[in-house]
Structure 1
Amino acid sequence: MKETQKEMVTSMNKRASISIISAILISATAFTLAPSATAASNVAAATYNGACGSGYGVVNSMALTKGTVYLTYNSATGKNCVVTVRNSSGAALYMTAEVAVADTYPNSNVQDVGFYTSYAGPVYVNAAGKCVAWGGNIDYSGRWNGRSNCG
């Protein structure tokens, strides 16, 4: 009977040791992965690059995985402009920039579609006093707003 108790204690000690080692490994893995996750979130977001020209100010934007779509407006001309800007330049990727008068979409849709290294657009529509539909895409991941910035 004593031998069986001794084996049980030895077995329990082994299990406890394995549990402690497992906990240490899990903690070390979490600590090692944390800086990588933080570094990935520190990628600089795209900023508006002024591609629409003078007199245009950003009135709306939508974040994409690899950049941002900007809707701009020029109050002197009544025109809206859309440009899609990548977070960082690099090899050419499929990109789009699109804008339309919301009530006449898709008939008024103006778009720039192609493979670009930094931005797509600018594309313009005269939408003074109207709502616009707009959006963009980088590397086949995009967003579309079917009606916004009315007025």
Structure 2
Amino acid sequence: MIATRSVLTAAALAALSLGATTALAAPASAAPNTTPQKLCGTAYKTVNSQPVGAVGTLYLTYNATNGKNCVVTIRSNPGTVLDMSAWLYLNGTDQGADDFGRYTSYAGPVQVYGKGRCVDWGGSIDNVYVQVYGSNCGSLKEHVVTYTR
């Protein structure tokens, strides 16, 4: 009986230890099937997007109700932690937001009020960077720069 109790106690301690380790583990930043609308909000419609090399996509969304733009960078295949970013500014100003960090699947969302304004936006995954200037300005043509470091 004492041997059985010792085995059960050891098993219970092992289960508690495993549970504590699992509870303290860092959560993933998103499910593999995330979308810009899941991150920015369902009222945000995708108005522009750019590939980030072959590793993901950068999305610009807009909410007509509140006049805000939102940018997210989403990896095609979430996995190990990588340097990622998403940024958004009103064209020609320092009004905006950015998110730079190490993530498993997405960076952002970042938002700025931009009703009736041109926006500059971009992002990166690992060493692939995308920058879009003068975007969504009606008749003006946007300028897209993609580069690898």
Distance in structure 2 (CA, Å) of the matches to 1:114 and 1:127: 24
Q: 1:139-150 alignment to 2 at 5 Å?
A: 139-150=126-137
Once the two structures are TM-superposed, the CA of residue 103 in structure 1 deviates from its matched residue by 2.4
Larger Rg: 1
Percent of aligned pairs with the same amino acid: 48
List structure 1 runs of 4+ shifted beyond 6 angstroms. none
TM-score for the superposition, normalised by structure 1:
0.65
Q: How many pairs align?
A: 104
Q: 2:80: which partner in 1?
A: 91
Structure with more of its chain in strand, by fraction = 2
User: Are residues 1:121 and 2:113 paired?
Assistant: no
Q: 1:61: which partner in 2?
A: 49
Q: Secondary structure at the match of 2:92?
A: helix
Q: Please, which runs of 5 or more residues in structure 2 have no aligned partner? A: 1-32, 139-149
Structure with more of its chain in helix, by fraction = 1
Q: Is the 1:48–1:70 Cα contact (8 Å) retained in structure 2?
A: no
Q: 1:79: which partner in 2?
A: 68
Q: 1:37: which partner in 2?
A: none
Q: 1:101: which partner in 2?
A: 90
Q: Secondary structure at the match of 2:101?
A: strand
Root-mean-square deviation (CA, aligned residues, Å) is: 1.5
Distance in structure 2 (CA, Å) of the matches to 1:138 and 1:120: 9
Q: 1:127 to 1:49 in 2, by over 3 A?
A: closer
TM-score for the superposition, normalised by structure 2:
0.66
Q: 1:47 to 1:59 in 2, by over 3 A?
A: farther
Q: Please, which runs of 5 or more residues in structure 1 have no aligned partner? A: 1-45
Amino acid corresponding to residue 71 of structure 1 in structure 2: L
